[in-house]
């Protein structure tokens, strides 16, 4: 089977990119000849790459020009199936790893200031993405949508005219050998030493770019509200408004207990240094980082607006919080601190939770879907 996978750019910090690069070998073992259609071949590790990189200026032109060029390329090559990770009408399969843009805008408008709401309405990029999203989900050529959570599946069903049988929930997979508790044991001492924390400190780790959507503001406020000098917050990721969040931490008197470490292509040392993963997202389809953290033996706190909440057993291998609720999150951080000081039980439960989602199982389900199509 000749399969094309479409993703515009590679970022070593992107969840979708990690899923593609790690899943490719497993899918190819099942007999697929996979070609990646992208702007740049660097970083993916794919054996067959079809590079399309038309000129652009600005985000709207960037996405529109790539969509047009990618569609021309896959029509010219004649693939059996085209799976897009971008909102491109006319693909056979769409992996909704970025969720539903319309839903994210609804959340932003509901909580935003009048100025923010106006800026959303006046930004032509959002209009383009919403139109492309609708055209793709309702396109007659679309045969299947891969949803990485039930949350995303239900949002698509509510928002678009699409037969429910086209929606398939296939959870992300995680490399259980790469992310393993033994790596945490091996790296922990040196990693904590680099951060400068004390042995008795409890380190909460936040990993994700796009700090507003991932809920970093609430995490910083929660750390301040918890009022415990032994609690730390380490933030890995990139954001163009980084200084805004640095100022927030300084204003809260947390500069000594927060560490902004930037985007990290290799995150295992951070998982090793941490005691609990935290991601109180305002909207998140299903971040790979949650499964990675669980696989390393880290309990996780995620929000109810995150697809990963579907795999968390509250109070067993993690906790589920409300988004934009620093007070409630502070209470959970305190509860997590107490539980983690009680022994290794939650870490073992976290690893057991991740073991339900090996990369091989995800690849097998993808292969079965491709075969059925």
Range 2-173+358-372: architecture per CATH:
3-Layer(aba) Sandwich (3.40)
Of 5-19, 40-54, 78-92, 342-356, the range with the lowest mean pLDDT is 5-19
Residue 316: count other Cβ atoms within 10 Å of its Cβ.
Answer: 14
Span 161-184, pLDDT tens digits: 999 999 999 999 999 999 999 999
- CATH 3.40.50.2000 for domain 181-354, yes or no, is yes
Q: Are strands 202-207 and 276-279 parallel, antiparallel or unpaired?
A: parallel
Span 99-154, pLDDT tens digits: 999 999 999 999 888 999 999 999 999 999 999 999 999 999 999 999 999 999 99
321 within 8 A of 340, measured Cβ to Cβ: no
Q: What is the dihedral of CA 104, 143, 22, 306, to 10 degrees?
A: 30
Average pLDDT over residues 23-30: 73
Span 256-266, pLDDT tens digits: 999 999 998 88
298 within 8 A of 275, measured Cβ to Cβ: yes
pLDDT recorded at residue 28: 77
Where in the chain is CATH 3.40.50.2000? 2-173+358-372, 181-354
C-alpha distances in Å from residue 55, one per residue of 58, 151, 276:
10, 36, 43
Residue 21 scores a pLDDT above 90: no
- pLDDT band at 18; cut points 50, 70, 90: low
To the question of pTM greater than 0.85 for the whole model, the response is yes
pLDDT recorded at residue 15: 64
């Amino acid at each position: 089977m000749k399969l094309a996978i479409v993703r515009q750019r590679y970022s070593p910090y992107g969840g979708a990119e990690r899923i593609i690069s790690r899943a490719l070998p497993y899918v190819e073992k099942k007999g697929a000849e996979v070609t990646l259609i992208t702007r740049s071949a660097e970083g993916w590790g794919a054996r067959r790459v079809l590079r399309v990189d038309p000129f652009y200026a600005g985000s709207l032109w960037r996405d529109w020009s790539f969509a047009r060029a990618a569609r021309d390329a896959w029509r010219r090559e004649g693939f059996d199936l085209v799976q897009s990770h971008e909102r491109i009408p006319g693909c056979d399969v769409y992996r909704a790893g970025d969720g539903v843009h319309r839903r994210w805008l609804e959340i932003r408008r509901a909580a935003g200031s009048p100025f923010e709401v106006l800026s959303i309405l006046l930004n032509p990029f959002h209009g383009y993405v919403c139109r492309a999203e609708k055209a793709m989900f309702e396109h007659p050529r679309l045969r299947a949508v891969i949803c990485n959570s039930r949350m995303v599946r239900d949002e698509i069903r509510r928002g678009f005219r699409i037969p429910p049988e086209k929606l398939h929930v296939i959870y992300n997979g995680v490399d259980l050998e790469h992310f393993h508790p033994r790596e945490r044991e091996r790296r922990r001492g040196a990693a904590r030493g680099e951060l400068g924390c004390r042995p008795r400190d409890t380190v909460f780790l936040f990993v994700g770019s796009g700090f507003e959507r991932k809920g970093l503001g609430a995490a910083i406020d929660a750390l301040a509200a918890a009022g415990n000098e032994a609690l730390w917050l380490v933030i890995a990721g990139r954001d163009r408004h980084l200084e805004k969040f640095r100022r927030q931490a300084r204003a809260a008197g947390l500069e000594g207990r927060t560490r902004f470490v930037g985007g990290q292509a290799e995150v295992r040392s951070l998982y090793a240094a941490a005691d609990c993963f935290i991601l109180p997202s305002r909207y998140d389809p299903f971040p790979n980082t949650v499964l990675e953290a669980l696989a390393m033996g880290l309990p996780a706190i995620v929000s109810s607006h995150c697809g990963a909440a579907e795999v968390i057993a509250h109070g067993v291998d993690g906790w589920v919080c409300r988004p934009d609720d620093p007070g409630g999150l502070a209470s959970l951080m305190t509860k997590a601190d107490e539980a983690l000081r009680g022994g290794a039980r939650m870490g073992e439960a976290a690893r057991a939770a991740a073991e339900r989602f090996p990369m091989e199982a995800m690849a097998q389900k993808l292969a079965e879907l491709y075969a059925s199509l």
